[in-house]
Amino acid sequence: MNTRVETGYPLDNHRTTPIPAFAQFARAVHDSPNIDYLWLWDELSGWFPGKLWTTENTPAADFIDGDSTYDPFVQAAIALAHNPDANIRLSTDAIRGGPAELLRKVLTLSNATSGNVVVAVGAGELRQTKPFGYKRTEGLQRLEDILQLVRRLYDEPQPWTQETNFWHLKNATIGKHRPEKRPEFWALGGGPVLLDIAARYADGFEAATPQAIQTPEEFSETVEAMRKKVEGYGRDPDAFGFGIWSLYVCHEDPEVIDRVLANPIVRYFAGQFGRLDQKRWLNEGETPVMPDGWHYAVKWAPFEQTDEEIQRIVDATPVSMSRKAYHVGTPKEMAKLHSEFVEAGAQFVGWLDMTPLALGPLEGPESLRRTNEISGLIKQAAGVGV
């Protein structure tokens, strides 16, 4: 059974949220006793195109620009200025930055807290790369470069030279000073190539559920295979971490859950991303909304979709599919399910509640309360902190 179970709750990353309000919310998350990480994402644009981002679909559209985002590393520094003992978790991709620059940012944050700093690095998304002149097809090779080079830059302070897929480092060093706690770099995503890169160079691996990994049983198989792969590269599998991003809809009232699942924004997400492998829908009695071979990370360019295509996706996504695209239930039901993921090997659970998106930001405090309750229950079940 796990002796390490940590959870994270996302902080709002929209520039329309005033910094004082952001700092106040970061304090509320940090003060939640069962939530361990302040969690931020590196996104240049939001998830929902203009046709969907309306007050009819979400009250947030009245005062939040969904595509105006903060720099998460700057946000993390602001959060730590108000919470200097907080744990920070960030996600970014390997395409939009270099290894030395990324490591320096992370070491800066590590010096700003007595807590832990963890960065999950993925191979990138088309929506974050193509519009801004980056090449999504370089993602996996750049991920390999980033993960091996940040490790070597940290471990070997004397100047050294190495040529990788995209980088030729010559007499590279970032100096000898190191923070009190070593930051961790995890791999984010899936697929055999990414998992192999993770096993060779990363400190851990995490993926979305139920979109990429549907069940605790499937996650257990992934954990077992990855531990063998890590050990095969001469590394300690017990030092390698495993995590999930849980996309869920949680409420005590089933009628409210039904309303959230029927929301057009929630259905749009479900149709495109509810299963990263669209063929998996066929095994669940659902007709895939997107074409065969569709994977959002390499195909989805939201601002290239016409209004007609956006509406088609919403209309083609029944509530039954929406319900299967997320983990759904009361706090106690969510705690039971996620305890099974913890038993399967999850040491980190990142919470992504769709409820405030559909019902509005005023639902945020209640969502945080429920998430704290769920986190406490899964820790209690795992015997952590008791």
Range of the structural domain that residue 109 is part of: 6-382
Contact by Cβ (8 Å): 63, 16: yes
For residue 377, tell me if it sits in a domain.
yes
For residue 1, tell me if it sits in a domain.
no
Q: How far apart are CA 27 and CA 275, in angstroms?
A: 34
| Residue 46 pLDDT > 90 | no
- Reading phi first (left if > 0) and then psi (alpha if -120 to 50, else beta), residue 346 is in beta
What are the residues whose beta carbons fall under 8 Å from the beta carbon of 20, sequence distance 6 or more? none
Identify the DSSP state of 243.
E
Tokens representing 300? Answer: 């989805």
pLDDT in tens, 94-136: 999 999 999 999 999 999 999 999 999 999 999 999 999 999 9
Assign residue 77 the CATH number of its domain: 3.20.20.30
For residue 266, tell me if it sits in a domain.
yes
Please count the helices (runs of H) and the strands (runs of E) in the chain: 15, 11
Total count of domains within the chain: 1
Of 17, 18, 72, 11, the closest CA to residue 37 belongs to 11
Please report which residue ranges of 60-138 form alpha helices under DSSP H: 72-82, 99-111, 126-129
Q: How far apart are CA 309 and CA 315, in angstroms?
A: 10
The H or E element spanning position 352 is strand 348-353
For residue 123, tell me if it sits in a domain.
yes
pLDDT of residue 1: 46
Residue type, 52: L
Q: How far apart are CA 149 and CA 104, in angstroms?
A: 12
pTM of the model: 0.96
pLDDT category at 49 given cuts 50, 70, 90 is confident
pLDDT in tens, 331-364: 999 999 999 999 999 999 999 999 999 998 889 9
Identify the DSSP state of 69.
B
Identify the DSSP state of 289.
S
3-state secondary structure of 329: strand
Q: How long, in residues, is the chain?
A: 386
pLDDT in tens, 146-158: 999 999 999 999 9
What are the residues whose beta carbons fall under 8 Å from the beta carbon of 95, sequence distance 6 or more? 123, 124, 128, 129, 134, 135, 136, 138, 139, 142
For residue 34, tell me if it sits in a domain.
yes
